[in-house]
Amino acid sequence: MMELIPLIIWLIQDLLYIVVFPGLVTILVLAIVIIWLERKIAAKVQMRFGPLWVSKRIGGALQSVADLLRFSFQEFIVPEKSDRWAFIVAPGLMFAFSMISLIFIPVGPYYSYLFPSYYTILFSVGMIIITPIFAILVGWSSDNKFSFIGALREAFLLISYEVPFLLSVASMIVLYRTFNYVDAVAYQFRGLPGLVLNPLAALTLLIVMIRTTGRFPFDITEADSELVMGLFTEYSALFFGIGMATPYVELYAFSLIFSLLFLGGWWPAPLYAHGPIMGLIIPGIVVVVKAFIVMALLVFLRAVYPRYRLDQAIRSGWSYVLLLSVLSVLLSFGEVMLLR
Amino acid sequence: MSEVRKPRDPVTGHIKALAKGFKYLIEPNRMTLDYPAETMKLPPNYRGFFTVDDVKCIGCSMCEMVCPPEAITMVPRIVGSGGKTLPAESAPQDQKAAKRTKRPVVNWGKCIFCYFCVDVCPVDAFRPTGVHDVAFYTDREYRPTYEEYLNPPEDPYKSSKKVVSKADKKRGVSYEPAP
Ligand code: SF4
Ligand code: SF4
In SS3 terms, A55-123 reads as: CCCCCCCCHHHHHHHHHHHCCCCCCCCCCHHHHHHHHHHHHHHHHHHHHCCCCCCCHHHHCCCCCHHHH
The string of DSSP letters for A251-262 reads HHHHHHHHHHHT
User: Which residues of chain A fall below pLDDT 70?
Assistant: 1, 17-18, 21-22, 111-115, 275-276, 279, 340
Res. B1: pLDDT tops 60: no
pLDDT of residue B155: 78
d(CA A145, CA B94): 64
Residue ranges around ligand 2 (CB below 6 Å) = B 52, 57-63, 104, 120-123, 125-126
For A301, the domain range is 80-338
Has residue B82 been placed in a domain? yes
Has residue A309 been placed in a domain? yes
Closest to A52 (Cβ–Cβ): which among B24, B25, B34? B34
Res. B8: pLDDT tops 70: no
Span A135-147, pLDDT tens digits: 888 888 888 888 8
Helix (H, G, I), strand (E, B) or coil at A205: helix
Has residue B15 been placed in a domain? no
Has residue A192 been placed in a domain? yes
Has residue A49 been placed in a domain? no
Span B66-107, pLDDT tens digits: 999 999 999 888 887 777 887 877 766 666 667 788 889 999
Which residue's CA is the nearest one to ligand 1's atom 8? B67
Has residue A69 been placed in a domain? no
Determine the residue of chain B that is closest to A305 in CA distance.
B17
Please report, for residues A129, A316, B7, the alpha-carbon distance to residue A310 in angstroms, rounded to integers and kept in the order given: 20, 10, 18
Amino acid occupying residue A320: Y
Determine the residue of chain A that is closest to B14 in CA distance.
A305
CA of A42 to the centre of ligand 1 (A): 38
Residue predicted with more confidence, B148 or B66 = B66
Has residue A166 been placed in a domain? yes
For B137, the domain range is 50-150
For chain B, give the number of residues: 179
CB spacing of A44 vs B31 below 8 angstroms: no
Number of domains in chain A: 1
Residue predicted with more confidence, B93 or B130 = B130
Has residue B132 been placed in a domain? yes
Number of domains in chain B: 1
Has residue B28 been placed in a domain? no
Instruction: Tell me: cis bond preceding A217? Omega within 30 of 0 counts.
Output: yes
CB spacing of A49 vs B18 below 8 angstroms: no
Has residue A74 been placed in a domain? no
pLDDT of residue A54: 81
CATH of the domain at B75: 3.30.70.3270
Ramachandran class of B154: left when φ > 0, alpha when ψ lies in -120 to 50, beta otherwise: beta
Question: ipTM score of the complex?
Answer: 0.72
Residue ranges around ligand 1 (CB below 6 Å) = B 66-69, 71-72, 106, 111-117
Task: Say yes or no: B29 contacts chain A, CB-CB below 8 A.
Answer: yes
CB half-sphere exposure, B136, CA atoms < 13 A: 14
Has residue A39 been placed in a domain? no
Which residue's CA is the nearest one to ligand 2's atom 4? B63
Has residue A159 been placed in a domain? yes
Which residue's CA is the nearest one to ligand 2's atom 8? B60
Q: Spell out which chain A residues touch chain B, with contact meaning CB-CB distance below 8 angstroms.
A: 41, 44-49, 52-53, 300-301, 303-305, 316, 320
Lowest mean pLDDT among A34-38, A318-322, B52-56, B157-161: B157-161
pLDDT of residue A68: 84
Task: Say yes or no: B32 contacts chain A, CB-CB below 8 A.
Answer: yes
Has residue B59 been placed in a domain? yes
d(CA A175, CA A184): 9
Has residue B13 been placed in a domain? no
CB spacing of A49 vs B34 below 8 angstroms: yes
d(CA A129, CA A104): 14
Has residue B7 been placed in a domain? no
Has residue B34 been placed in a domain? no
